[in-house]
């Protein structure tokens, strides 16, 4: 919160960033972080559709125990492209590059990110690598799975493996540039009075994410480079015939990819902290615990990669240590869940669509987290390794967690981003549909996996068919749940859509002190911060009740 | 810039981790494989690159002291030494090729899998480093040609380019003992 005089800036104070230029050039060569965020929003939505189409093919094929829709090769390509697109072109950029890009500068009272041109460059790199991935899809695809395990990827796989690797390699630069930009911005561009202890928790989680961006992504880059070198010129360190060791690939790959899981979930945790406090109209319970938990997750997350390799033949002592550390990383995550529920306790709660998304996030995150603890136990992991149990677990975190939080955040900040109010009733329906559809899709997969259904197979014994059919039905419901917001959010942009006031939720935070949508420079005057974050109570505004 | 450099260090981290693991597992074979490298060329290159890095540091100091002509001279000296480094490296690669130590080529022959893997790591590590040297040389040339940068008493551009050049140097300082000195007898 700042001085009260910023709470309701006059409507005509400054031209909004959306009205400042309508040419294509003003969008594609913009350095405004808000416009770049919208460029990202459109592009990740596009890649979400591609990844989702691949998922639809997979679920349709799994309706029957035989292979009747896709060939073996086609099925491998479908799940590979689903994983690659969803991880690198949707989940990783989704929250940081859309919501983070839009909000990080505004939340700390800055006019833009520290390096605006670098920000635009990072979008172009992302688009270039995305187009390369599309080229892979049309030129025959790739069948290694998103993990590119050697020696399959380096010696045996057919298809455009190298092109895919190059695409992912290039997209890493986009990620690193974003990480650098966020870290420097948060260090250097905070408004007067915005001390570290007054940063919104959204900022803390993006800070932690950026650390992983910068330190983990290059390890993936060099790993993929080594695979490409082995495939192309025979200089390899993974193929035993060349003196290498395939397990080395798994170590290097998971050294990146486990932190990458936290890249996908940490920003979501930050979104939920904002949603919960705004709906509860209460100060967050244990600010410092939630803030430091983000950093702790980022740090411990670097030391747990071995839990992906319990059955790979690594030393049992290493496995025991990785098991212990993997259980330890649950502690900061649990702290956050407890603090959110404690924040909601005895609060005057406004049950709007963002809160419904936040509540389903908490439920799904707890389910995903607890099954994660089971997987961290050596004995259980050996039983369910490479089964649908693992698939269900990480979809609970990635889809139930990250995607739900992304939708919640999109609804929460939609009035700020576009200046329009969406249909609140439809928003609540969508939140419930997504929650139900998600559980119907993925809960049966826990059962499937525990009973022994392996992942990445499309021909299976008939006794698994009932659960697979339920799962596919749930996926259809989930698709409706995801399509619904696309309809009413776009409808709110049409002429005649209701205009949003500066602060429709009655929330604290600098982003709610400027107009909706914000002017090009975010604020008409330099904000000065004089209070703690989440300094409620703030009156519920009347405008919220007519939703 | 420093944050970006941290990212670069992690890029090389994977290769170092692999090399150190190899040495722990097969200590004597690793030493024997390293012995085949030309220690003297490696040592000469270390001296060349360290001097070049010194030149970059002098350029930063000269710009800060308001001596643009000296800054430019020091930068060109750094560029020249960087080219010398690449030339020596090229000569060394040519020698390796003649001795059949270049993986992926027809005449390659190795004494065992450890040596094979060692040479793979050697080429990927030094090759990736050489790519960075080339990028660094480009940056140094840009800085040397930029009039404004020479006259900037805060030395923002020259300072950042020099930081990158130091990174290239530091990576080599670790590659040198890991690959060359491990084989010294």
Give tens-digit pLDDT for A51-63.
Answer: 999 999 999 999 9
Task: State the Cα–Cα distance between residues B180 and B41, nearest whole angstrom.
Answer: 10
Query: A543 or A406: which carries more pLDDT confidence?
Result: A406
Closest chain A residue to the Cα of B11, Cα to Cα: A218
Angle at A54 between CA A49 and CA A58, to 5 degrees: 140
Closest CA to B57 of B163, B178, B177, B173: B163
Instruction: Please list every residue in chain A whose beta carbon sits closer than 8 Å to the beta carbon of residue B4.
Output: 176, 180, 214
Range from A38-52, A132-146, B119-133 that averages highest in pLDDT? A38-52
The H helix count followed by the E strand count for chain A is 18, 0
Give tens-digit pLDDT for A465-492.
Answer: 999 999 999 999 999 999 999 999 999 9
pLDDT of the residue at B127: 87
At A33, list the tokens.
């972080």
The mean per-residue pLDDT over the stretch A5-28 comes to 72
* Residue B78, domain extent: 2-183
Angle at A293 between CA A287 and CA A294, to 5 degrees: 100
What confidence tier does A8 reach under pLDDT thresholds 50, 70, 90? very low
B11, B17, B123 member nearest A235 (Cβ): B123
* Residue A105, domain extent: 4-546
B13, B117, B124 member nearest A219 (Cβ): B13
Closest CA to A102 of A25, A181, A8, A34: A34
pLDDT of the residue at A55: 95
B7, B12, B18 member nearest A176 (Cβ): B7
pLDDT of the residue at A476: 95
* CATH for B124: 1.20.120.80
pLDDT of A545 > 60? The answer is no
pLDDT of the residue at A4: 41
pLDDT of the residue at A175: 93
Residue B129 C-alpha, separation from nearest chain A C-alpha, in angstroms: 12
pLDDT of A5 > 50? The answer is no
Cβ of A235 within 8 Å of Cβ of B104? The answer is: yes
Give tens-digit pLDDT for A130-183.
Answer: 999 999 888 878 888 888 888 788 777 777 888 899 999 999 999 999 999 999
For residue A499, the SS3 value is strand
pLDDT of the residue at A466: 95
The mean per-residue pLDDT over the stretch A455-472 comes to 93
Query: A461 or A497: which carries more pLDDT confidence?
Result: A461
pLDDT of the residue at A344: 93
A214, A229, A248 member nearest B7 (Cβ): A214
pLDDT of the residue at A544: 45
The mean per-residue pLDDT over the stretch B111-132 comes to 83
Instruction: Please list every residue in chain B whose beta carbon sits closer than 8 Å to the beta carbon of residue A243.
Output: 110, 112-118, 120
Give tens-digit pLDDT for A91-119.
Answer: 999 999 999 999 999 999 999 999 999 99
The mean per-residue pLDDT over the stretch A355-374 comes to 95
Report the complex ipTM: 0.75
pLDDT of A74 > 80? The answer is yes
Cβ of A248 within 8 Å of Cβ of B114? The answer is: no
Cβ of A235 within 8 Å of Cβ of B13? The answer is: no
Chain B interface disruption, residue of A113, A227, A243, A245, most B CBs within 10 A: A243
Residue B73 C-alpha, separation from nearest chain A C-alpha, in angstroms: 30
pLDDT of the residue at B86: 92
Task: State the Cα–Cα distance between residues A448 and A465, nearest whole angstrom.
Answer: 10
Q: Does B113 touch chain A (CB under 8 A)?
A: yes
pLDDT of the residue at A6: 44
Sign of CA dihedral A245, A236, A85, A96: positive
pLDDT of the residue at A97: 95
A222, A235, A240 member nearest B103 (Cβ): A235
Cβ of B14 within 8 Å of Cβ of A223? The answer is: yes
Sign of CA dihedral A4, A8, A9, A15: positive
At A131, list the tokens.
């187009």
What confidence tier does A1 reach under pLDDT thresholds 50, 70, 90? very low
Closest chain B residue to the Cα of A231, Cα to Cα: B104
Answer for the pair A376, A384: CB distance below 8 angstroms, yes or no.
no
Longest CA span, chain A: 72
* CATH for A491: 1.20.210.10
- CB pairs < 8 Å spanning A and B: 80
| Average pLDDT over chain B, rounded to an integer | 83
The mean per-residue pLDDT over the stretch B89-113 comes to 77
The mean per-residue pLDDT over the stretch A387-403 comes to 94
In sequence order, the 6+-apart residues with CB closer than 8 A to the CB of A190 are A108, A109, A110, A199
Closest chain B residue to the Cα of A215, Cα to Cα: B7
Closest chain A residue to the Cα of B18, Cα to Cα: A248
* Chain A residues interacting with chain B (CB cutoff of 8 angstroms): 176, 179-180, 183-184, 214-219, 221-223, 225-226, 229, 233-237, 240, 242-245, 248, 251-252, 255
pLDDT of the residue at A103: 96
**Counted domains in chain A:** 1
Query: B93 or A37: which carries more pLDDT confidence?
Result: A37
pLDDT of the residue at B107: 67
Cβ of B18 within 8 Å of Cβ of A217? The answer is: no
Rounded percentage of chain B residues whose pLDDT exceeds 70: 95
Provide the 10 A C-beta neighbour count for residue A537.
12
pLDDT of the residue at B66: 85
Q: Does B104 touch chain A (CB under 8 A)?
A: yes
What confidence tier does A64 reach under pLDDT thresholds 50, 70, 90? very high
Closest chain A residue to the Cα of B19, Cα to Cα: A237
Cβ of A215 within 8 Å of Cβ of B7? The answer is: yes
Length of chain A: 547
Closest chain B residue to the Cα of A251, Cα to Cα: B14
| Average pLDDT over chain A, rounded to an integer | 89
A70: region left, alpha or beta (phi > 0 left; psi from -120 to 50 alpha): beta
Q: Report CA-CA distances (Å) from A111 to A27, A103, A528, B133.
A: 18, 11, 13, 36
At A456, list the tokens.
């990445």
Cβ of B124 within 8 Å of Cβ of A235? The answer is: yes
Identify the weakest region by mean pLDDT among A242-246, A294-298, A309-313: A242-246
**Counted domains in chain B:** 1
Q: Report CA-CA distances (Å) from A289 to A292, A297, A334, A339, A370.
A: 5, 12, 11, 8, 21
Task: State the Cα–Cα distance between residues A31 and A34, nearest whole angstrom.
Answer: 9
Closest CA to A81 of A175, A152, A150, A167: A167
Q: Does B123 touch chain A (CB under 8 A)?
A: yes
Cβ of B128 within 8 Å of Cβ of A225? The answer is: yes
The mean per-residue pLDDT over the stretch A376-403 comes to 92
Length of chain B: 185
pLDDT of B11 > 80? The answer is no
Exposure string (b/e) for A406-433, b if CB count within 10 Å is 16 or more? bbbbbbbbbbbbbbbbbbbebbbbbbeb
pLDDT of A122 > 90? The answer is yes
At A123, list the tokens.
């979008």
Rounded percentage of chain A residues whose pLDDT exceeds 90: 64
Q: Does B116 touch chain A (CB under 8 A)?
A: yes
């Amino acid at each position: 919160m700042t001085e009260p005089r910023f709470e309701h800036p006059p409507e005509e104070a400054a031209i909004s960033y959306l009205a400042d230029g309508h040419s294509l050039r003003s969008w594609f060569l913009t350095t405004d972080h808000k416009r770049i965020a919208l460029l990202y929003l459109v592009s990740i939505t596009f890649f979400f559709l591609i990844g989702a189409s691949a998922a639809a093919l997979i679920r349709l094929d799994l309706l029957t125990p035989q292979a009747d829709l896709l060939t073996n090769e086609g099925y491998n390509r479908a799940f590979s492209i689903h994983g690659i697109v969803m991880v690198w072109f949707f989940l990783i950029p989704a929250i940081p590059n859309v919501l983070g890009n839009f909000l990080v500068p505004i939340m700390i009272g800055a006019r833009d990110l520290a390096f605006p041109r670098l920000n635009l460059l990072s979008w172009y790199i992302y688009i270039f690598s995305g187009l390369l991935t599309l080229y892979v899809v049309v030129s025959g695809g790739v069948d290694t799975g998103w993990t590119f395990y050697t020696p399959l990827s380096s010696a045996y796989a057919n298809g455009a493996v190298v092109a895919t690797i190059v695409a992912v390699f290039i997209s890493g630069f986009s990620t690193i540039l974003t990480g650098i930009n966020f870290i420097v911005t948060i260090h250097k561009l905070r408004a007067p009075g915005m001390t570290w202890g007054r940063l919104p928790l959204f900022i803390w989680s993006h800070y932690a994410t950026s650390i992983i961006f910068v330190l983990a992504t290059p390890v993936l880059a060099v790993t993929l480079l080594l695979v490409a070198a082995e495939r192309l010129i025979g200089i390899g360190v993974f193929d035993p015939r060349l003196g290498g060791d395939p397990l080395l690939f798994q170590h290097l790959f998971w050294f990146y990819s486990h932190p990458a899981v936290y890249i996908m979930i940490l920003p979501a945790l930050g979104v939920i902290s904002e949603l919960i406090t705004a709906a509860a109209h209460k100060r967050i319970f244990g600010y410092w615990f939630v803030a430091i938990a983000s950093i702790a997750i980022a740090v411990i997350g670097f030391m747990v990669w071995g839990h992906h390799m319990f059955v790979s033949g690594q030393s049992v002592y290493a496995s025991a240590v990785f098991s212990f550390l993997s259980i330890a990383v649950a502690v900061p995550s649990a702290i956050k869940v407890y603090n959110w529920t404690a924040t909601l306790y005895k609060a005057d709660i406004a049950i709007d669509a963002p809160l419904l998304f936040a509540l389903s996030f908490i439920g799904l995150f707890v389910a995903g987290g607890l099954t994660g603890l089971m997987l961290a136990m050596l004995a259980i992991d050996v039983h369910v390794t490479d089964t649908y149990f693992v698939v269900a677990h990480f979809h609970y975190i990635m889809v139930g967690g990250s995607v739900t939080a992304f939708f919640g955040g999109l609804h929460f900040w939609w009035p700020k981003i576009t200046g329009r109010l969406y249909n609140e009733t439809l928003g609540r329906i969508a939140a419930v549909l997504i929650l139900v559809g998600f559980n119907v899709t993925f809960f049966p997969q826990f059962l499937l996996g525990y009973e022994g259904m392996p992942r990445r197979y499309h021909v299976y014994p008939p006794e698994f068919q009932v659960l697979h059919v339920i799962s596919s039905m749930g996926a259809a419901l989930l698709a409706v749940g995801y399509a619904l917001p696309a309809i009413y959010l776009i409808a709110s942009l049409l002429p005649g859509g209701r205009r949003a006031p500066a602060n429709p939720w009655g929330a604290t935070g600098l982003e709610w002190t400027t107009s909706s949508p914000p002017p090009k420079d975010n604020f008409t005057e330099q904000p000065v911060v004089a209070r703690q974050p989440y300094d409620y109570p703030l009156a519920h505004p009347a405008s919220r009740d007519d939703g | 810039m420093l944050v970006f450099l941290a990212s670069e260090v992690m890029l090389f981290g994977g290769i170092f981790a692999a090399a150190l693991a190899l040495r722990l597992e097969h200590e004597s074979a690793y030493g024997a494989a390293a012995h085949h490298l030309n220690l003297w060329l490696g040592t000469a290159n270390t001296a060349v690159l360290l001097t070049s890095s010194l030149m970059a540091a002098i350029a930063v100091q000269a710009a800060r002291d308001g001596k643009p002509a000296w800054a430019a001279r020091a930068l060109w000296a750094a560029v020249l030494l960087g080219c010398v480094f690449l030339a020596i490296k090229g000569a060394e690669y040519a020698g390796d090729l003649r001795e059949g130590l270049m993986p992926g080529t027809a005449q390659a022959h190795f004494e065992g899998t450890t040596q094979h893997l060692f040479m793979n790591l050697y080429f990927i590590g030094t090759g990736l480093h050489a790519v960075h040297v080339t990028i660094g040389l480009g940056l140094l040339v840009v800085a040397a040609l930029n009039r404004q940068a020479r006259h900037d008493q805060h030395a923002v551009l020259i300072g950042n380019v020099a930081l990158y050049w130091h990174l290239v140097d530091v990576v080599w300082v670790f590659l040198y003992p890991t690959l060359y000195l491990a084989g010294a007898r």
